[in-house]
């Protein structure tokens, strides 16, 4: 079944069309990443799907319901980690999570959630004393405490150090294994490649490519670079058939101990896609 579906989604601000006809279909249990430069329409798209912003046109269903008219029961089934969150500076971490947990019919235990996001040692700390990265972890805790069926993560690891990012990735994998559908926006391409089952690149308010991290934009079929140590020094060749080239090198007695085969990275493909869309 499809957890998130959008057809012909449009939203304009004044004379600028921020979202210009986006189609999405995200099955239950999938981790789906939206990539794109600033101003591409990612956050507007996510806010419409969350029911926090009205669309101008298009059809949307999230868990079978149009978010524009959804009620409290529907909202209890989704989780949101927005780019910015309401500050509850005078509460402790534990008080904040327990308070939000009380808004859901079947929440996780507050202590469990706090531990999952790596804030167990900050349970009694006032929110105003947390660092930026720690506050972001608290945002994640508040987004998952209600056991959401669909979780929206808008730039969730901004401000995280490398270790905290890897811990967050493991949390996403745990949630995905439990069957949570996750829509993720991120500027970190390594994050998208590590977590997403599929992803889409948005530029100028439209989807310019969609696929798995390995196949996006024809990445899997793109030519590769074969590098090796030649008799006169390092050599490299672009080719669509690395197997044939390596066979010729081996037949010629070439030393293949330092040979490498490199395909375009996700970053290479992404930059090409958004460059072509401009």
Q: Are residues 210 and 232 in the same domain?
A: no
pLDDT of amino acid 278: 62
Q: Are residues 35 and 127 in the same domain?
A: no
**DSSP of 181-196:** EEEEE-S-HHHHHHH-
| 210 pLDDT higher than 90 | yes
SS3 31: strand
> Residue 22's beta-bridge partner residues?
9
What pLDDT band is residue 20 in, cutting at 50, 70 and 90? very high
Q: Are residues 70 and 159 in the same domain?
A: yes
What are the distances in angstroms from CA 162 to CA 135, 156, 157, 166, 169?
Answer: 16, 13, 10, 6, 11
Q: Are residues 61 and 195 in the same domain?
A: yes
CATH number for the domain spanning 52: value is 3.40.50.300
Q: How many domains does the chain have?
A: 3
| 238 pLDDT higher than 70 | yes
Q: pTM of this prediction? A: 0.84
pLDDT of amino acid 239: 83
Q: What range does the domain containing 247 cover?
A: 223-262
CB atoms within 10 A of CB 178: 9
| 237 pLDDT higher than 80 | yes
Q: Are residues 206 and 247 in the same domain?
A: no
Q: Does residue 235 belong to any structural domain of this protein?
A: yes
| 84 pLDDT higher than 80 | no
Q: Are residues 197 and 274 in the same domain?
A: yes
pLDDT of amino acid 206: 93
Average pLDDT of the segment spanning 85-98: 84
Region for residue 217 given its phi and psi (left: phi exceeds 0; alpha: psi -120 to 50; beta: otherwise): left
pLDDT of amino acid 185: 94
The sheet with strand 16-27 has its strands ordered as: 16-27, 2-13, 57-62
Q: What does the CA dihedral 167, 172, 178, 183 come to, rounded to 10 degrees? A: 170
pLDDT of amino acid 261: 82
23 vs 136: which has the higher pLDDT:
23
**How does the average pLDDT of the chain come out, rounded?**
90
Q: Are residues 183 and 271 in the same domain?
A: yes
pLDDT of amino acid 277: 58
Model confidence pLDDT, tens digit, residues 106-155: 999 999 999 989 899 999 999 989 988 888 889 999 999 999 999 999 98
Q: Does residue 83 belong to any structural domain of this protein?
A: no
């Amino acid at each position: 079944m499809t957890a998130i579906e959008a057809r012909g989604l449009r939203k304009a601000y004044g004379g600028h069309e921020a979202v210009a006809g986006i189609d999405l279909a995200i099955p239950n249990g999938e981790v789906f990443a939206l990539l794109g430069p600033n101003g591409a329409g990612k956050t507007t798209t996510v806010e419409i799907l969350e029911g926090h912003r009205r669309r101008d046109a298009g059809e949307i269903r999230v868990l079978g319901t149009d978010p524009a008219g959804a009620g409290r029961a529907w909202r209890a089934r989704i989780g949101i980690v927005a780019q910015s969150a309401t500050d509850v500076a005078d509460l402790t971490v534990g008080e904040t999570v327990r308070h939000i947990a009380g808004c859901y019919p079947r929440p996780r235990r507050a202590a469990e959630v706090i531990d999952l996001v790596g804030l167990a040692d900050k349970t009694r700390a006032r929110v105003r004393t947390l660092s930026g990265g720690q506050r972001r972890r608290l945002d994640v805790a508040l987004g998952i405490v209600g056991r959401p069926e669909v979780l929206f993560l808008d730039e969730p690891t901004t401000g995280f150090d490398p270790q905290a990012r890897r811990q967050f990735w493991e949390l996403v994998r745990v949630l995905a294994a439990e069957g949570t559908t996750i829509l993720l926006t991120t500027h970190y391409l390594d994050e998208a490649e590590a977590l997403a089952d599929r992803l889409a690149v948005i530029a100028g308010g439209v989807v310019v490519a969609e696929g798995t991290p390995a196949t996006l934009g024809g990445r899997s079929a793109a030519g590769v670079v074969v590098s090796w140590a030649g008799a006169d020094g390092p050599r490299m060749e672009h080719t669509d058939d690395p197997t044939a080239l390596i066979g010729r090198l081996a037949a010629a007695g070439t030393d293949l101990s330092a040979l490498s085969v490199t395909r375009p990275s996700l970053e290479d493909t992404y930059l090409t896609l958004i460059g072509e869309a401009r």
